[in-house]
A and B are shown apart, each in its own frame.
Chain A
Amino acid sequence: MYIKIKNNHIEFIKSANPYLIFATIFAFVIGLYYSLFQSPPDYIQGDSMRIMYIHVPSAWFALMTYSILAGSCVLWFITRNPLFNVVARSIAQVGMVFTLMSLITGSIWGKPTWGVWWVWDARLTSMLILFFLYIAYIFLWQAISNKELASKISAALAIIGFINIPIIKFSVDWWNTLHQPASISKLSAPSIDESMLIPLFIMTAACFLFLVTVSLIRFRLVLIENKILRTSN
């Protein structure tokens, strides 16, 4: 499973870049149109649930990106193919941005629905920890001067963080049953109406396109960075 990155691959990524940017902008414009104009306000929450259309995709992609990050770190350890390291490093910062966005939009959504900005519930707390795992991965790489070592070390940390996330989720669940009785009226979403599913779907697609576009730009960036490091050493 050894895939070598050739020059024509990079050329292909380069040539696809403007189309991807255009597609991302197009998808976001369509998604905005659907989520702000074309979807009805929620029966209980009113218009505030329109935040869901950006909150849910960013939370999904925050988690997905971390799984890809940890998965590619594992694959890198198994196959020793440097491509996986480049993938991990190019995708990490996008995931950090999505995590931060899901936290911010989530707490803005929480204020009108729960009446508070933040709830110490398992999902939110583990998202917050996930954000710090991203920070640890990115800044540990920057702190170690020997970059080859830095990649290995931060990859090990990413895998440990992946083990840590379910443990934290479980323990915060336990902690909630311990410290607070069910005082929070959590959102129960029994079935989402089709008219809300369409904008959600379009926004998810747009966020995915953004993820792909920026990670491919960062992919080129990381490759050039590697080359510069190699020549300067």
Chain B
Amino acid sequence: MNEFLDMGGYAIFIWSSYGIFFFSLIIFFLINISNLRKYEKIFSKTKNKIE
């Protein structure tokens, strides 16, 4: 297991790049989902006002 984590001496590079990649993809995804929810709420409110 340690050998796997060590990655032939390149541990820092591989794990940091994979970490940054997946972390930012997930964060970006969550930001968009939460924005969508927010806009849907605002939209339903304005819709009610008009009706």
Q: State yes or no: do A and B touch (Cβ within 8 Å).
A: yes
A contact residues vs B (CB 8 Å cutoff)? 28, 32, 36-37, 41, 46-48, 50-51, 54-55, 58, 93-94, 97, 100-101, 104-105, 108-109, 111-112, 210, 213-214, 217-218, 220-221, 224-225, 227-228, 231-232
Q: CB distance A46 to B29 under 8 Å?
A: no
> Interface SS of chain A: helix, strand, loop or mixed?
helix
Chain A residue with the shortest CB-CB distance to B27: A97
Chain A residue with the shortest CB-CB distance to B44: A224
Which residues B1-51 have CB closer than 8 A to chain A? Answer: 4, 7-10, 13-14, 16-18, 20-22, 24-25, 28-29, 32-33, 35-36, 39-40, 42-43, 46-47, 50
B contact residues vs A (CB 8 Å cutoff)? 4, 7-10, 13-14, 16-18, 20-22, 24-25, 28-29, 32-33, 35-36, 39-40, 42-43, 46-47, 50
- Provide a sorted-by-A list of 18 A–B residue pairs whose CB atoms are within 8 angstroms: A47-B9, A48-B14, A51-B17, A54-B17, A93-B28, A93-B32, A97-B24, A100-B24, A108-B16, A108-B17, A109-B13, A112-B10, A217-B33, A220-B36, A221-B36, A224-B40, A228-B46, A231-B50
Q: CB distance A51 to B13 under 8 Å?
A: yes
Q: CB distance B21 to A54 under 8 Å?
A: yes
Q: If A218-B32, A228-B43, A232-B46 touch, does A54 touch B13 (CB 8 Å cutoff)?
A: no
Partner of B25 from the list A37, A210, A221 (CB cut-off 8 Å) is A210
Partner of A112 from the list B13, B28, B50 (CB cut-off 8 Å) is B13
Q: CB distance A217 to B28 under 8 Å?
A: no
- Shortest B11–chain A CB gap in Å is 9
- Shortest B33–chain A CB gap in Å is 6
Alpha-carbon separation in the docked complex, A225 to B43 (Å): 8
Q: Which 8 A-B pairs have the closest CB atoms?
A: A47-B8, A48-B10, A108-B17, A47-B7, A105-B17, A224-B39, A46-B8, A221-B36
What 13 new A-B contacts, CB under 8 Å, besides A54-B21, A100-B24, A224-B39?
Answer: A46-B9, A48-B10, A48-B13, A51-B14, A94-B28, A108-B17, A109-B17, A112-B13, A210-B25, A221-B32, A225-B39, A227-B43, A231-B46
- Shortest B21–chain A CB gap in Å is 5
Q: Which residues of A contact B25 (CB under 8 A)?
A: 97, 101, 210
